[in-house]
Structure formats: structure tokens, C-alpha cells
Amino acid sequence: MAARPKQDQPAYMRAREAVLSLMRAERLGPGAKVPSERALAAQLGLSRMTVRQGIENLVRAGFLERDGTSGTRVADVSVVRIIDSRRAFSMSEIVKSSGARPGSRLLVFGPQKADRSLAARLDIEPGAPVMRMRRLRTADDIPFCIETSCIPADLVPGLVAEDLAQNASLYSLLRDRYGLVPTDRDSEISAAPINAEDAWLLGLREGINVLHYRSIVRDAQGRVIESVASVNHPQRVVFSTHAPQVRI
């Protein structure tokens, strides 16, 4: 049985959370058809209009998708990334909040010298050493983005590739070992063709346009501690202003 929504929420949010709870309770996976608005209204004890508003909210957030011929289905989207918050979320947090199990595969790890562009983003001198790590990120073992992080080397002495083995959280490592707490971010999104290597890793056709996400991450003192760039699968990532409320 689906969990009962909190009564102090707006009606459409109660409908939203009730539908999410129903999806979780009935283990509805990507592509599964959601009951009709009429059936959901009767099952949840809410008006059909309220249920419709809740479903529209879930469509905007990327959990559901409408099909003109066969109704509403669970979207084939693994991850919802929030774009209207300056808070610095770890990728593990993002994936878990989207109701999936986070994972990663380390593709590249090592030191490099910052070029002028990267140095400007990290607020360091050109040529200063940085630690660069490139990872294939997964949700429930399905690849959804390729993420490249660069951190000033003097902030993370002794960091090695093995530290990121077995899906270790970089942000937990920064906090627990180095006392670096990612606090806020400045972000930008653009569209550009995907290159051959990234397309192969994500199972896409080379040259199609995908969303590229870049951010600068700062700690509580305003110091830049990370530059992040990611290439995102167009069918498995949704950028939304609506944060998920329930894990499914």
C-alpha cells in the first residue's frame, strides 16, 4: 500500500508524493504505465484535478512522461539534476535523490598543469598543478554522464586513484580527510556535439547534441576547490527546477 502523504502539504504535492509512493510500492520501472488520472483519484481519495496537477509536476521533474497514444509512463530517465540552487550537491546525493543507486568507473586520474582557462576557473596561477579525475557515472548501473573534476593539487596532498575505488564519494573524501566542505556553486549549461569517445561510453551516436554542464565549487570561505564539467546523456538526465521529494 502506498504511504499516506502529509496533510500539511498543498493538495497537488500530496498527490505528487502519493503517486511517487505508489510507483515505489508497486515497483514500477522505466516504461511502466501509470494508472489513469481517474483510477488514481479514486485510489488516493483526491480530486481528479489535484491528481492531474501532481502528475504534471512529476512530468516537469522528469519522473513521468506523457504518450499521446498510451497515457502516462514512468520516464526512462535515471537522474534529475537541479539547476536553480547554488548548493553544491555530490553526484551520489543527486543520484540517490533521483531514486537510483549511484556508481562510477574511474577513467582517468592524475596530475596536470592548469592551462589559462582552467587556472582562471580555479583562481590559481597558470601552470599550477591540479589533480584531474574523469569518471563515468552510473545510476542503477546505467551510464548517464561523464564527469571531469579538477582540484588544486595543494588542497589534496596524497590523493591517489585508489581513494576513489568502489564508488567512493569524492565529496566525503574532501570533507573527512582534507577538511574541505563543498558549499556552493556557480553553474552553466550549454549544448554541443558529443565526441566519439564520450558517445561510445554513453552508448550514443557520435556528433549528436548533448547538454554540457560546468560548475565552479566553493567552500564556506568562498575559496574555489573544484572545477567540474560533465557530458550528459539526453535520455537519462533531466535538468529541472523541481527537486525530488521522495526516493523511488
Domain count, the chain: 2
Please check whether residues 69 and 86 belong to one and the same domain. no
Question: What domain range is 158 assigned to?
Answer: 79-240
Q: d(Cα 212, Cα 194) in Å, to the nearest integer?
A: 9
Please check whether residues 140 and 196 belong to one and the same domain. yes
Report the percentage of the chain scoring pLDDT > 70: 89
Question: How many residues make up the chain in this entry?
Answer: 248
The domain boundary residue, chosen from 74, 97, 129? 74
Please check whether residues 162 and 103 belong to one and the same domain. yes
Average of per-residue pLDDT across 220-229: 95
141: left (phi over 0), alpha (psi -120 to 50) or beta: left
pLDDT confidence bin for 147, thresholds 50/70/90: very high
Q: What is the DSSP string of the chain?
A: -PPPPPTTS-HHHHHHHHHHHHHHHTT--TTPBPPPHHHHHHHHT--HHHHHHHHHHHHHHTSEEEETTTEEEE-S--EEEE-S--B---HHHHHHHTTS-EEEEEEEEEEEE--HHHHHHHTS-TT-EEEEEEEEEEETTEEEEEEEEEEEGGGSTT--GGGG-TT--HHHHHHHHH-----EEEEEEEEEEPPHHHHHHHT--TT-EEEEEEEEEE-TTS-EEEEEEEEE-TTTEEEESS---S--
Please check whether residues 83 and 61 belong to one and the same domain. no
Asked if residue 73 has pLDDT above 80, the reply is yes
In a domain, 245, yes or no: no
The domain boundary residue, chosen from 31, 48, 74? 74
Average of per-residue pLDDT across 224-248: 77
Average of per-residue pLDDT across 4-26: 74
In a domain, 16, yes or no: yes
In a domain, 227, yes or no: yes
The domain boundary residue, chosen from 74, 96, 121? 74
In a domain, 46, yes or no: yes
Asked if residue 3 has pLDDT above 60, the reply is no
Average of per-residue pLDDT across 60-76: 74
Task: Convert the pLDDT of each residue in 166-195 to its tens digit.
Answer: 888 899 999 999 999 999 999 999 999 999
Select, from the ranges 29-33, 99-103, 104-108, 138-142, the one with the highest average predicted confidence (pLDDT): 104-108
Torsion of CA 151, 154, 157, 161, to 10 degrees: 30
Please check whether residues 61 and 139 belong to one and the same domain. no
In a domain, 20, yes or no: yes
In a domain, 6, yes or no: no
Please check whether residues 87 and 186 belong to one and the same domain. yes
Burial class (CB in 10 A: 0-12, 13-18, 19+), 207: exposed
Q: Which of 87, 43, 109, 113 is nearest to 185 (CA)?
A: 87
Amino acid at the residue 162:
E
Task: Convert the pLDDT of each residue in 95-133 to its tens digit.
Answer: 888 778 889 999 999 999 999 999 999 999 999 999 999
